Structure 1
């Protein structure tokens, strides 16, 4: 009863070889997966780089057009100011006065304690 037939029991050497083969197969699969991930990462990086380049080109083009428009409008305003120095002085004075009054109003609204001018 205690006798076990040696042919029925698996050989340890066979088990070890089977496990080593499975480990080698798993390593090959991991290597394939790593290569696939690496390729996908490279593709995504290329796509992102291309999109960034396109965005930069678009932004540079728009900035250039905007700068040209601003230059032309500033030139127009400069010409009008040269032709009408009195009106320019009056407009700038009014804008300065409005800014000063707005500053006082903001300062008073930010102040918690009420002050009175004596």
Structure 2
């Protein structure tokens, strides 16, 4: 006799009488549940990874801030040291220059006082020395002017 159940042919000899369509529906439900579970697990892992990345970003930002603050503090300290060193050096130079200027002023005052005393004691000698120096200066000036420049053209115009 012929089998009237066309949709219930045994598949692969398992003897349970299930059709391949029913089997596919059951497998698809199981795989749907499995894929939903694996999708939920992946979403959970992604969320954990996002939390880990944000935690790492915060940690890196904190370290960068500490490093930048350290660099800034170091640069500020070096600038302060350089400035104070320069200020000390300038102060030393000023003190040294002031001291030298003070010593030079004392020396000039002393020399001026001794010249003044000499002039007061010997007025004739001083006036003779000044006059002699003036005459010698004029003669040296004339000699240098005459030897260094040729006669000007206007001089020849009048003597032709």
TM-score (norm 1): 0.69
In structure 2, stretches of 5+ residues that fail to align are 1-40
How far, CA to CA, are the matches of 1:107 and 1:17 in structure 2? 94
**1:32 matched to which residue of 2?**
70
- Which deviates the most, 34-43 or 19-28? 19-28
Cα distance change on mapping 1:101 and 1:34 into 2, 3 Å? farther
29-38 or 62-71, larger mean C-alpha shift: 62-71
Query: CA-to-partner distance for each residue in 1:16-58, whole Å, 9 max, x for gaps?
Result: 4323321221121011110111112112222222222222222
1:115 is aligned to 152
Q: How many residues are treated as equivalent by the alignment?
A: 113
Matched residue SS, 2:152: coil
Stretch deviating more after TM superposition (90-99 or 35-44): 90-99
1:91 corresponds to: 129
Distance 1:45 1:107 in 2: 58
Structure 1 vs Structure 2 CA RMSD: 3.3
Larger Rg: 2
Partners of 1:96 and 1:86 in 2: CA distance? 15
What is the TM-score of this pair, normalised by structure 2? Answer: 0.54
Structure 1 residues without counterparts, runs of 5 or longer: none
Aligned to 2:38: none
Say whether 1:46 aligns with 2:113.
no
Aligned to 1:75: 113
